[in-house]
């Protein structure tokens, strides 16, 4: 059944924006009385029905549980070109909760203000497609040092991925993890500078390896998220869901 993240809802009524209305009518060819799943992107889902081109109504609440049992915040040094689009799409499918795009010392691009809207749209579509209950949050891009400062004091376990380093692997760290929220930073094409790694360690981050191969700046966050999701879901049986 088609899933739609709704932005306007009043009691049992749902209001479609122009783009959603066009998609439901012209692309999916849904008509009055057809049903779909409406999500608020924050964790609630409903079975809903089309009333008119611009309105739907809620039929009943749905209890769906497809979210990971752990929150993942990715701090991603922006890769060149549109590389972050692919990271947002794939990591949303895999279960990321929050993306913090960062400008590291070796980041090449200067993201335009419109990029955030584009990334949010990609995250919304990926959440609908992968049947998630939440749409990940994406913050405005910030300098990597500012991101570290803004995190402040926290209980969360934090890791920074450093290629060619003689550190623990992320997998080893995850196997001993008890935290319900993890923060992981990945670098740009040229990697983090030694100073950035030093600052991150001073801010409470543990350097970790993702193996002996050097992953692209786009592949590293996807590998991180897959690993966390696999470990987090390892002990959950279908009966627990």
Q: How many CB atoms within 10 Å of residue 237? A: 7
The answer to whether residue 183 forms part of the interface with ligand SAM (CB under 6 A) is no
The answer to whether residue 215 forms part of the interface with ligand SAM (CB under 6 A) is yes
Q: Quick one: 37 or 215, whose CB is closer to ligand SAM?
A: 215
Q: Quick one: 31 or 216, whose CB is closer to ligand SAM?
A: 216
Write the interaction track for ligand SAM spanning residues 135-164; mark x where CB under 6 A is met and - where it is not: --------------------------xxxx
- Specify whether the CB–CB gap between 196 and 207 falls below 8 A: no
Among residues 4, 87, 220, 232, which is the contact residue for ligand SAM, using CB under 6 A?
A: 220
d(CA 109, CA 148) in angstroms, rounded, equals: 20
Which residue stretches of the chain are H helix?
A: 18-22, 83-94, 114-129, 144-151, 170-175, 194-202, 219-233
- Specify whether the CB–CB gap between 15 and 54 falls below 8 A: yes
Q: Quick one: 19 or 166, whose CB is closer to ligand SAM?
A: 166
List beta partners, residue 10.
13
The answer to whether residue 186 forms part of the interface with ligand SAM (CB under 6 A) is yes
In whole angstroms, the minimum distance from the beta carbon of 129 to ligand SAM comes to 26
Give helix then strand counts, H and E, for the chain: 7, 13
Give the residue at shortest CB distance from ligand SAM: 187
SS (H, E, C) 26-50: HHCCCCCCCEEEEECCECCEEEEEE
The answer to whether residue 210 forms part of the interface with ligand SAM (CB under 6 A) is yes
The answer to whether residue 103 forms part of the interface with ligand SAM (CB under 6 A) is no
Residues that bind ligand SAM (CB under 6 A): 161-164, 186-187, 189-192, 209-211, 213-217, 220
């Amino acid at each position: 059944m088609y899933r739609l993240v709704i932005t306007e809802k009043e009691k049992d009524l749902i209001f479609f924006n122009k783009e959603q209305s066009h998609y439901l009518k012209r692309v999916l060819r849904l008509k009055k009385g057809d049903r779909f799943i409406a999500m608020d992107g924050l964790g609630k889902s409903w079975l809903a029905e089309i009333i008119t081109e611009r309105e739907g109504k809620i039929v009943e609440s749905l209890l769906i549980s497809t979210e990971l049992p752990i929150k993942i915040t990715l701090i991603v040094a922006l890769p060149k070109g549109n590389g972050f689009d692919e990271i947002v799409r794939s990591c949303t499918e895999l279960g990321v909760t929050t993306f913090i795009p960062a400008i590291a010392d070796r980041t090449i691009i200067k993201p335009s203000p419109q990029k955030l809207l584009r990334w949010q749209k990609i995250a919304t579509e990926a959440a609908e497609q992968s049947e998630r209950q939440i749409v990940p949050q994406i913050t405005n891009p910030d300098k990597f040092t500012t991101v570290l400062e803004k995190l402040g004091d926290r209980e969360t376990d934090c890791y920074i991925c450093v290629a060619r380093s003689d550190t623990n692997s992320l997998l080893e760290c995850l196997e001993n993890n008890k935290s319900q929220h993890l923060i992981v930073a990945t670098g740009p094409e040229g990697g983090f500078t030694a100073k950035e790694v030093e600052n991150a360690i001073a801010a409470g981050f543990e350097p970790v390896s993702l193996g002996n191969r050097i992953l692209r700046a786009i592949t590293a966050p996807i590998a991180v998220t897959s690993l966390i999701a696999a470990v987090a879901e390892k002990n959950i049986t279908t009966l627990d869901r």
